[in-house]
């Protein structure tokens, strides 16, 4: 069965898996995009679970200051390898996470360490783990008031 390349591209944009995984998912579902997404999400959950025991000792720290609100955020992201830590995907994730944290109204009064599990970013983190095939942790988040 020949799978439309645009459909593969669309599935990749939705789920973040590689070309071959997307093609195989579409073949197994008869080009049903919704079922393919569902199947790949199940596969992705297994990837996240399998990687969770791996040591994540490399990483990056990103600093963000929201000039309008005077809120600063430090985010530490840890990965298994320095190669993945230096990718644009991880850097963009750190930037997005820092901006997200600075926008949380309930955090504006808390200028100390924040529990990463309390910020509602698990789906984005899981998508990054699936894409990189590495264990990635939001290790630390701290907010502060800029001067």
**Structural domains of the chain, ranges and CATH numbers in brackets:** 5-51 (1.10.8.10), 58-145 (3.30.479.20)
CA 71 to chain centre: 23
Q: Residue 83's pLDDT is what?
A: 92
Instruction: Please choose, from the candidates 52, 56, 47, 48, the residue with its C-alpha nearest in 3D space to the C-alpha of residue 80.
Output: 56
**Any idea what DSSP says for residue 146?**
-
Which runs of consecutive H residues, i.e. helices, occur in 1-145? 5-15, 19-28, 33-51, 82-85, 88-103, 122-132
Choose the most confident range, by mean pLDDT, from 26-30, 48-52, 90-94: 90-94
Count of other CB atoms within 10 angstroms of residue 89: 14
Mean pLDDT over 21-43 rounds to 86
User: Encoding tokens for residue 49?
Assistant: 């679970």
* pTM flag (> 0.75): no
Contact at 8 Å (CB) between 125 and 138? yes
Comparing 78 with 17, which gets the higher pLDDT?
78
> In this prediction, what percent of the chain has a pLDDT beyond 90?
22
pLDDT in tens, 73-131: 899 999 999 999 999 999 999 999 999 888 875 555 555 566 667 777 888 888 888 88
Please provide residue 78's backbone torsions phi and psi, each rounded to the nearest 5 degrees.
-110, 140
Mean pLDDT over 9-18 rounds to 82
Please provide residue 70's backbone torsions phi and psi, each rounded to the nearest 5 degrees.
70, 30
């Amino acid at each position: 069965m020949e799978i439309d390349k645009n459909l593969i591209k669309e599935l990749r944009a939705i789920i973040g898996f590689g070309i071959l995984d997307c093609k195989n998912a579409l073949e197994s579902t008869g080009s049903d995009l919704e079922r393919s997404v569902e199947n790949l999400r199940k596969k992705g959950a297994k990837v996240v679970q399998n990687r969770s025991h791996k040591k994540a000792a490399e990483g990056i720290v990103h600093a963000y200051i929201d000039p309008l609100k005077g809120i600063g955020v430090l985010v530490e992201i840890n990965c298994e390898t320095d190669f993945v830590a230096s990718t644009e995907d991880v850097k963009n994730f750190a930037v997005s996470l820092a901006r997200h944290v600075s926008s949380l109204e309930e955090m504006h009064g808390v200028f100390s360490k924040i529990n990463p599990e309390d910020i509602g970013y698990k789906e984005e983190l899981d998508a990054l783990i699936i894409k990189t095939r590495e264990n990635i942790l939001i290790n630390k988040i701290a907010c502060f008031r800029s001067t």
